[in-house]
Amino acid sequence: MKRTVLISVLALTACLGLYFLMRPHPAAPVAQAVPSPEERSRDLLITPAGVQLVLQAKSAEAFTIVLGDSGNGLPPAFTVETMQVGRTEVVSAELANKLIAILVDPTTYPDLDPSVYPPDQLPKGITIKPCGGFQPRHAVRFRNSPAGKADVTFLICFTCHDIQVVVHNSDGQITHRKLSDFRTPDQRLEQLILKALPNDPFLTQKLARS
């Protein structure tokens, strides 16, 4: 009798052990990569979806912006809604890839202070920066299709090294806009924009002085 009970206990123990060995175990949590301050700044400025649109863009164009005169010798306050586009040039795929490599590179952007640049979009038509008004003269726009309305536009002021990113959805509505400083070594971005807009007087003079 005792032997039968012992065998039964051993059998039950073996079954329980086999059950615990064979049952599915929860997967170990995957460690999430902690973004660098530069990656965080880039994603705040462009948004992750905007970065993907730029990387997968099917067309790109560069254009100049006519700033005009407010009547007191200074350009009027800049807004995307009233922006006057000047010269426009289609950007070749090779040049677009070089521009993309800089514009989505996290090291192009300093660490943004969320208290100055909150994660939500700026109020309509407002481009707030501690250093003053934003006056871009050049821009690059990336689209997911040549005739599509969804795009990411980089508005660039090479005087103060400011850049504003504006994202439009497929209906042509602004879904995101944010402003930041940028930094590129050896005036690389200026040189690429000048290749996209050959003989641009502002960039030609700026690069000649450097």
pLDDT in tens, 105-135: 988 887 565 544 444 444 444 444 444 578 8
C-alpha–C-alpha distance, residues 165 and 131, integer Å: 18
Q: pLDDT tens for residues 15-61? A: 545 554 555 555 556 566 676 777 887 888 899 999 999 999 999 99
**pLDDT tops 80 at residue 83:** yes
C-alpha–C-alpha distance, residues 46 and 199, integer Å: 29
Q: How many Cα neighbours within 13 Å face the side chain of 54?
A: 26
CB 195 within 8 A of CB 95: yes
Pairing of strands 59-66, 174-181: unpaired
Could you tell me the residue ranges of all domains in the chain?
Answer: 37-209
pLDDT band with cut points at 50, 70 and 90 for residue 11: low
Q: pLDDT tens for residues 130-186? A: 445 788 999 999 998 877 889 999 999 998 888 999 999 999 899 999 888 888 878
pLDDT of residue 198: 96
Task: Please tell me which residue, 152 or 79, carries the higher pLDDT value.
Answer: 152
pLDDT of residue 125: 41
